């Protein structure tokens, strides 16, 4: 199968405009004849559901939480980027485009990223119109801050709760349509499979998480906006139930999975305290604006931080990357932390932690200023660790955070299955091998508000599929498969809990496919994962029944998919014999330990096609063409 | 009719009725309390005051009617709200703890019921004269209804005073929550003034209650003396 | 640490529930409350018993999913902290804790500690929005909003919709939740055009869903993990009353 990204021809700056003109439209009166299933109500899903319903399409929206407002987007803290150039500091659509391409280590499509930068401004306008209370200046104008190492201040924010406010905006817009009867909402409903009829995505199979009822839904198109898969690492900053199930089911039905190995490790999370740990908590990156990161110079120096004199401290980021220092990009900072901890210089009981120290800033700016800037974060830190960061430096360590990889989509956000569209973190499209801070929110909303409403019309107008109902044999077959799988899971009566196996999978993935990867390690992981999978199917224990709320069964289904998906990720990591962005292959680094890309051989999107459980998937390459930016070594020195 | 149903169904409208009638009743209580303190000024002033009130005629009945209506609305609405609120939690907590809610605020209905019972008794005693008919129809030297003595005789009875004082303390509990609460319900809550409203409300309740209680206490402790004693030139 | 847990177990909405008692040992003070429940659930599963169902997702105090009372206080003893952020170091070895679901008619129990809070979503669908469809809106800086107003709006917008206010309220009233949403928009220029309609619609829906009426105990404010102020309820009362007294829906006919 050849991959056609359908990127419009012509100059970069006119591609989207031209494409919008060329795409076919659906007459307003006919829109109500088309139905769309939207799975996921995060920023991407909620904004899509609202916008499509406003246009007149009939929308069914699904999420696994009890309310769409709880989608994981709610947790985003820092902010959202846009090229407004309000601060007059030299920003522009082109600069945002350029920074994003470079930040992604030249592994994203120029066309997509440029469109993202273009619509970024409209997103801010839209959110403000909805009543999102972004931070303002006294005069009433919007405030901006610099974030995630950007050289310009282009980040809009609402305290430390930007994701929450943006999501509530999109959620409100969607709920308005629910009230008007244009969106049917199905909360606590989990997607179990996708239904393909005559090669087109035509529906889904779901399980009602309250009653256990397995149901089928038919529509003219299916949109997946189901978020990322960072929980393959078990411990991550993602919400507990974030999963790969929807994407993975689509993959098994023929959608290709692109760049699964591109995962982002966030440098500033609270370190692990013990085996009971269920998730890791992100401490906003903004802390790095005023905190200095260090470890003791000597291996095994167990003195209390206050007892370690300046001369014995290593401010390693400032030392290695003098021009960006503590603000170096995520992948670089994370790896540096791992390196010093692997050397035995890590701090805290586990030795996997580094100090983020505010003493200098408190001294320079006063405690009041620091409290004003980070008060709520400091409180949160103290709540979790029981330590007061005003007097004792914070301890942080990197944690899995975001997944750049996802289902392959073309410029229209359609996967390799016609009619199956993928938005937000669930697709692979815009961040290349590394995502810059404050750009996931931007992408999710761009996809939902400003891309899919146009491209889906084009799909309807050109695909011209016949109507189907859930009586179609494909629906019956998919439903039967789902039921059978549930029964198999419920019959598991071994000696380990699903959570234990998930934790073991996470350990393997973190060790061999986390911050650093190498050939031998990846091969070892490729041996271990199938063993764990066997153990799951032979020795896991699932209690309760199918026809009721059953949290053990829910989890088992998700973990079963992670256990298969992990292998796809490992194959991709093994296959990509270069280091780029979040994918760091230890064999491919410069003398001073920096990532070494291989543009000659790897400037492509790796799209994997399912070939069976435990069988190496088939690789398809979409070559990336760079007509506007010159590929350079990403340097933050 | 439709609007009555809609008010009974609407939580906020019901609350507003509670608050608005509450305001009327607090105003009435304040006036009543001030009237009672005329007792300190002696028989003549007190009876004159009572006579003036009586001479209002129709106006008095209008005022009484208005107050009565407020009481009825206050009670009916509170029962309605109680039903709504009880229905809202069909299964109780096995264990419940309070973080902020005071005992006053949680017992409004019960203090209200007790006050209601007391008021009935109080009216029978002083307005209708049904409970102590023997001492009700006294007149003073000027031929006026001798309210002064009626009150005095009433409160010389320790049991009656005790009931009265207890009821006033309950009233205090009720008002302690009610007054500032009415501001909130009627939409007055501003960070600059919340403190003043709360202290002010507490003060007003305290003054009302103390004012009321001071009369039976004054009688029992001998600050307010029978006419005979006064005439005999006692102090 | 060791704890005795009395937990509400209820198989489904239709069946009756009751408290059950469990012993949990080996609790680390670094665990969160929910991680402590995870530990219990692991034990239960290995004993072929059904784990205790409870709602949770982000475990960062922002999604508002987690919802349970500890010793009769929603989200437990620590002020302005969701139960997912509450750590076991706040308890003592040997404590006996009562763990119950939110209790309200409008929040029927689904199972064990899980309740159905979709009533909140329906209230939002009734009016918790600004009717701005995608596209065709002015530049973000064309709408000036002073920092004070923006901050106020944000104070109310911080609500996570967990329902602790309802759970804590003697009357299972949802007025803090509804008041917060109404107040967020009331402080913003974007919220003005529909202000009266919104107040009427959201309050009517709230009543219809079977929540109680506020009696100004302010218990909601005390347990709210985000510290939302009851001033929002006063504002809602004011807006509702004003709308009730003055709002007339305009009816336009024909094309
Ligand atoms: C702690 C944290 C902080 C972050 N901070 C920032 C930031 O400051 N700036 C930034 O730009 N980005 C940030 N990000 C990244 C960003 O928040 C996410 O990438 C983005 O919100 C994802 O949005 P989404 O709509 O794609 O998916 P999500 O918000 O994850 O939504 C997924 C939806 O899919 C549903 N779903 C999933 N699986 C199923 C299934 N099987 N069946 C039914 N429904 C399903 C869920 O119910 C949910 O509604 C942060 C991420 C984290 C974890
Ligand atoms: S689990 Fe999200 S707020 Fe507690």
Number of Cβ pairs closer than 8 Å across B and C?
133
Please report the pLDDT score of residue B24 as a whole number.
97
* Res C127 pLDDT > 50: yes
In angstroms, the CA C164 to CA C160 distance is: 10
Strand-pair partners of C69: C74, C100
Task: Report C:157-186 residues touching B (Cβ under 8 A).
Answer: 168, 170-173, 175
**How many residues make up chain C in this entry?**
255
Q: Closest partner residue to C87 among A51, A239, A384, by Cβ?
A: A384
Nearest to B138 by CA among B43, B69, B215: B43
Strand-pair partners of C39: none
**Mutation test of the interface with chain B: which of C234, C243, C247, choosing the one with the most B Cβ atoms within 10 A?**
C234
- Cβ distance C132 to A139 less than 8 Å, yes or no, reads no
Strand-pair partners of A294: A355
In angstroms, the CA A225 to CA A403 distance is: 13
Which structure tokens are listed for C142?
Answer: 């064309």
Place of tokens 């692979």: A428
- The per-residue DSSP string of A290-329 comes to T-EEEEESSTT--S-GGGS-GGGEE-HHHHH-TTTGGG--
Percent of chain B scored above 70 by pLDDT? 96
For ligand 1, pick from A49, A155, A441 the residue to mutate: most ligand atoms within 8 Å of CB: A441
- Within its chain, how far is the Cα of B159 from the centroid? 19
List of chain A residues with pLDDT < 50: none
Phi, psi at A207, each rounded to 5°: -120, 125
Q: Are strands A394-403 and A354-357 parallel, antiparallel or unpaired?
A: antiparallel
Q: Are strands A394-403 and A189-197 parallel, antiparallel or unpaired?
A: unpaired
Strand-pair partners of A427: A407
**ipTM, two decimals:** 0.97
In angstroms, the CA C184 to CA C180 distance is: 6
Please report the pLDDT score of residue B235 as a whole number.
43
Least distant ligand from the CA of C162: 2
> Who contacts A498 (Cβ-Cβ below 8 Å, separation ≥6)?
A536, A540, A541, A542, A552, A555, A556, A559
CB count within 10 Å of CB A324 equals 18
Question: Where exactly are the structural domains of chain C?
Answer: 3-111, 117-246
Nearest to A509 by CA among A302, A229, A289: A229
Which structure tokens are listed for A525?
Answer: 């992981």
To the nearest whole angstrom, how far is the Cα of B85 from the nearest Cα of chain C?
A: 4
For chain B, which domains are there?
2-90+101-234 (1.20.1300)
* Res C239 pLDDT > 50: yes
Q: How confident is the model at residue B234 (pLDDT cuts 50, 70, 90)?
A: very low
In angstroms, the CA A13 to CA A8 distance is: 11
List, as own/partner pairs, every contact residues A31-36 make where C-beta atoms lie below 8 angstroms and the sequence separation is at least 24, other chains included. A31/A55, A31/A56, A31/A57, A31/A457, A32/A56, A32/A57, A32/A58, A34/A58, A34/A220, A34/A221, A34/A460, A35/A59, A35/A60, A35/A218, A35/A219, A35/A220, A35/A221, A36/A60, A36/A219, A36/A220, A36/A221, A36/A222, A36/A223, A36/A456
Per mean pLDDT, which range of A209-218, A227-236, B135-144, C234-243 is the poorest? Answer: B135-144
Element (H, E) at B171: helix B158-185
Strand-pair partners of A414: A421
The answer to whether A391 touches A378, Cβ cutoff 8 Å, is no
To the nearest whole angstrom, how far is the Cα of C215 from the nearest Cα of chain A?
A: 28
> Who contacts A433 (Cβ-Cβ below 8 Å, separation ≥6)?
A104, A105, A107, A108, A259, A262, A404, A580, A581, A582, A583
The answer to whether A44 touches A430, Cβ cutoff 8 Å, is no
Residue A246, CA distances (Å) to A186, A200, A222, A225, A260 in order: 16, 16, 11, 9, 15
Residue list, ligand 1 pocket, CB within 6 Å? A 39-45, 62-65, 71-73, 75-80, 162-163, 190-191, 225-228, 237-238, 243, 245-246, 282, 401-402, 424-426, 438-441, 444
Strand-pair partners of A197: A200
Which structure tokens are listed for A75?
Answer: 């947790």
Q: Is B88 left (phi over 0), alpha (psi -120 to 50) or beta?
A: alpha
Please report the pLDDT score of residue B231 as a whole number.
59
Q: Closest partner residue to C110 among A69, A210, A453, by Cβ?
A: A210
| Residue with CA at minimum distance from ligand 1 atom 38 | A226
* Res C253 pLDDT > 70: no
- The per-residue DSSP string of A18-67 comes to HHHHHS----HHHHTT-EEEEE--SHHHHHHHHHHHHHT-EEEEE-SSSS
Please report the pLDDT score of residue B5 as a whole number.
76
Q: How confident is the model at residue C37 (pLDDT cuts 50, 70, 90)?
A: very high
Listed in order, strand segments (DSSP E) in chain B are none
| Residue with CA at minimum distance from ligand 1 atom 53 | A238
Task: Give the tens place of pLDDT for each residue, C74-86.
Answer: 999 999 999 999 9
Provide the b/e sequence for A291-320 (b: ≥16 CB within 10 Å): bbbbbbeeeeeeeebeebeeeebbbbbeeb
> Who contacts A365 (Cβ-Cβ below 8 Å, separation ≥6)?
A290
- What is residue B183's three-state secondary structure? helix
Instruction: Give me chain C's average pLDDT, please.
Output: 96
Assess B64–C contact: CB distance below 8 Å, yes or no.
no
| Segment B77-99 mean pLDDT | 96
Please report the pLDDT score of residue B229 as a whole number.
65
Strand-pair partners of A403: A263
Q: What is the pTM of this model?
A: 0.96
In angstroms, the CA B188 to CA B182 distance is: 9
Nearest to C9 by CA among A205, A549, A35: A549
The answer to whether B220 touches B158, Cβ cutoff 8 Å, is yes
- Cβ distance A165 to C150 less than 8 Å, yes or no, reads no
Please report the pLDDT score of residue A173 as a whole number.
98
Q: How confident is the model at residue B7 (pLDDT cuts 50, 70, 90)?
A: confident
Ligand 1 atom nearest to A249, measured from its CA: 41
A207 Cα to the center of ligand 1, angstroms = 21
Provide the b/e sequence for A408-423 (b: ≥16 CB within 10 Å): bbbbbbbbbbbbbbbb
In angstroms, the CA A263 to CA A515 distance is: 9
* Res B228 pLDDT > 90: no
CB count within 10 Å of CB C19 equals 14
Q: How confident is the model at residue C153 (pLDDT cuts 50, 70, 90)?
A: very high
Residues of chain C contacting residue B175, judged by C-beta atoms under 8 Å apart: none
In angstroms, the CA A132 to CA C140 distance is: 11
> Who contacts A217 (Cβ-Cβ below 8 Å, separation ≥6)?
A37, A60, A203, A204, A205, A206, A470
Nearest to A581 by CA among A562, A603, A612: A603
For chain A, which domains are there?
266-400 (3.90.700.10), 473-623 (1.20.58.100)
Nearest to C3 by CA among C18, C20, C22, C16: C22
In angstroms, the CA C170 to CA B233 distance is: 58
In angstroms, the CA B80 to CA B82 distance is: 5
Which of these CATH numbers, 3.10.20.30, 3.30.70.20, 3.10.580.10, 2.60.40.10, describes C3-111? 3.10.20.30
The answer to whether A609 touches A258, Cβ cutoff 8 Å, is no
Please report the pLDDT score of residue A1 as a whole number.
63
Which of these CATH numbers, 3.30.465.10, 1.10.1060.10, 2.40.100.10, 1.20.1600.10, describes C117-246? 1.10.1060.10
């Amino acid at each position: 199968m050849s991959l056609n990204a359908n990127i419009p021809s012509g100059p970069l700056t006119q591609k989207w405009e031209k494409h919008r003109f060329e795409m076919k439209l659906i007459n307003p009166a006919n829109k109500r004849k088309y139905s769309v299933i939207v799975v996921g109500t995060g920023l991407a899903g909620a904004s899509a559901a609202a916008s499509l319903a406003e246009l007149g399409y009939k929308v069914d929206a699904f999420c696994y939480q009890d309310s769409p407002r709880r989608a994981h987007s709610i947790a985003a803290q820092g902010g959202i980027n846009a090229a407004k150039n309000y601060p007059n500091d030299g920003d522009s659509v082109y600069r945002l485009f350029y920074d994003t391409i470079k930040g992604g280590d030249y592994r994203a499509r120029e066309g997509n990223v440029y469109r993202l930068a273009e619509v970024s401004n409209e997103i801010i306008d839209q959110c403000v119109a909805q009543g999102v209370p972004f931070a303002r200046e006294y005069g009433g104008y919007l405030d901006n801050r610099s974030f995630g190492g950007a050289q310009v201040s282009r980040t809009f924010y609402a305290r430390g709760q930007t994701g929450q406010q943006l999501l509530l905006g999109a959620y409100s817009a969607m709920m308005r349509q629910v009230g008007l009867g244009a969106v049917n909402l199905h909360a606590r409903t989990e997607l179990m499979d996708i239904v393909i009829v005559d090669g087109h995505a035509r529906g889904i199979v779901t399980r009602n998480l309250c009653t256990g009822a397995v149901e089928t839904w038919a529509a003219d198109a299916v949109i997946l906006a189901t978020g990322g898969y960072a929980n393959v690492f078990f411990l991550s900053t993602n919400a507990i139930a974030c999963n790969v199930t929807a994407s993975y089911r689509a993959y098994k039905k023929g959608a290709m999975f692109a760049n699964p190995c591109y995962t982002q490790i966030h440098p500033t999370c609270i370190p692990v305290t013990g085996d009971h740990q269920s998730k890791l908590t992100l401490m906003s990156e903004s802390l790095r604006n005023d905190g200095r990161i260090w470890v003791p110079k000597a291996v095994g120096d167990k003195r209390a931080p206050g007892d370690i004199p300046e001369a014995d401290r290593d401010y390693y980021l400032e030392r290695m990357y003098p021009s960006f220092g503590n603000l170096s990009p995520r992948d670089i900072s994370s790896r540096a932390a791992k390196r010093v901890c692997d050397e035995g210089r890590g701090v805290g009981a586990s030795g996997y932690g580094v100090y983020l120290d505010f003493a200098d800033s408190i001294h320079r700016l006063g405690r009041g200023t620091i409290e004003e800037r980070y008060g709520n974060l400091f409180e949160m830190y103290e709540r979790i660790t029981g330590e007061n960061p005003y007097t004792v430096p914070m301890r942080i360590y990197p944690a899995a955070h975001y997944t750049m990889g996802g289902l392959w989509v073309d410029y229209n956000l359609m996967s390799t299955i016609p009619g199956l569209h993928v938005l937000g973190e669930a697709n692979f499209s815009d961040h290349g091998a590394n995502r810059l801070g404050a750009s996931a929110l931007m992408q999710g909303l761009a996809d939902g508000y400003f891309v899919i409403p146009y491209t889906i019309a084009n799909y309807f107008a050109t695909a011209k599929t016949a109507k189907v109902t859930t009586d179609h044999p494909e629906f019956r077959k998919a439903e039967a498969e789902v039921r059978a799988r549930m029964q198999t899971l419920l019959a598991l009566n071994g000696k380990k809990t699903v959570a234990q196996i998930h934790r073991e999978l996470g350990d393997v993935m973190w060790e061999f496919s986390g911050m650093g990867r190498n050939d031998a390690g990846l091969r070892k992981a490729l041996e271990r994962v199938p063993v764990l999978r066997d153990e799951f199917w032979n020795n896991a224990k699932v209690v309760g029944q199918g026809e009721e709320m059953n949290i053990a069964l829910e989890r088992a289904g998700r973990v079963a998919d992670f256990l298969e998906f992990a292998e796809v990720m490992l194959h991709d990591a093994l296959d990509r014999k270069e280091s780029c962005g979040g994918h760091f292959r230890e064999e491919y680094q410069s003398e001073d330990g920096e990532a070494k890309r291989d543009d000659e051989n790897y400037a492509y999107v790796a799209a994997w096609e399912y070939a069976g459980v435990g069988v190496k998937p088939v690789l398809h390459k979409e070559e990336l063409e760079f007509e506007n930016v010159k590929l350079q070594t990403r340097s933050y020195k | 009719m439709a609007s009555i149903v809609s008010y009974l169904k609407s939580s906020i409208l019901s609350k507003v009725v509670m608050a608005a009638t509450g305001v009327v009743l607090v105003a009435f209580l304040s006036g009543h309390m001030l009237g009672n303190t005329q007792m300190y000024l002696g028989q003549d002033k007190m009876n004159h005051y009572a006579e003036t009130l009586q001479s209002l005629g129709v106006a008095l009945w209008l005022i009484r009617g208005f107050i009565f209506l407020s009481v009825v609305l206050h009670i009916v609405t509170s029962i309605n709200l109680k039903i709504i609120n009880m229905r809202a939690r069909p299964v109780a907590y096995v264990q419940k703890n309070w973080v902020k809610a005071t005992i006053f605020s949680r017992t409004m209905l019960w203090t209200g019921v007790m006050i209601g019972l007391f008021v009935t008794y109080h009216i029978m005693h002083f307005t209708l004269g049904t409970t102590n008919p023997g001492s009700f129809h006294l007149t003073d030297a000027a031929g006026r209804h001798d309210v002064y003595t009626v009150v005095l005789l009433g409160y010389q009875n320790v049991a009656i005073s005790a009931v009265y004082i207890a009821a006033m303390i309950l009233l205090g509990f009720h008002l302690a929550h009610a007054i500032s609460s009415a501001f909130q319900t009627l939409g007055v809550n501003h960070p600059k003034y919340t403190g003043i409203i709360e202290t002010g409300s507490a003060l007003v309740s305290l003054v009302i209650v103390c004012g009321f209680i001071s009369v039976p206490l004054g009688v029992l402790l001998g600050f307010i003396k029978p006419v005979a004693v006064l005439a005999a030139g006692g102090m | 640490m060791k704890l005795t847990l009395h937990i509400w177990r209820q198989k489904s909405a239709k069946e009756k529930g009751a408290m059950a008692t469990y012993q949990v040992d080996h609790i680390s003070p670094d665990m969160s409350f929910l991680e402590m429940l995870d530990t219990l659930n692991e034990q239960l599963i290995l004993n072929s018993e059904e784990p205790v169902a409870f709602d949770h997702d982000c475990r960062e105090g922002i999604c508002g999913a987690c919802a349970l009372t500890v010793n009769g206080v929603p989200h437990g003893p620590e002020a302005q902290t969701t139960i997912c952020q509450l750590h076991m170091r706040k308890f003592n070895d040997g404590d006996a804790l009562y763990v119950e679901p939110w209790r309200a008619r409008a929040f029927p129990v689904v199972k064990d500690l899980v309740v159905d809070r979709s009533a909140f979503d329906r209230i939002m669908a009734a009016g918790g929005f600004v009717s701005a469809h995608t596209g065709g809106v002015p530049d973000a800086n064309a709408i000036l909003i002073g920092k004070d107003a923006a901050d106020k709006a944000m104070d109310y917008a911080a609500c996570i919709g967990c329902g602790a206010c309802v759970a804590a309220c003697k009357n299972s009233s949802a007025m803090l939740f509804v008041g917060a949403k109404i107040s967020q928009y009331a402080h913003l220029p974007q919220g003005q055009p529909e202000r009266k309609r919104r107040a009427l619609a959201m309050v009517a829906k709230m009543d219809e869903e079977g929540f109680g009426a506020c009696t100004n105990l302010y218990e909601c404010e005390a347990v709210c993990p985000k510290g939302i102020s009851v001033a929002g309820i006063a504002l809602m009362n004011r807006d509702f009353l004003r709308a009730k007294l003055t709002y007339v829906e305009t009816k336009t006919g024909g094309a």
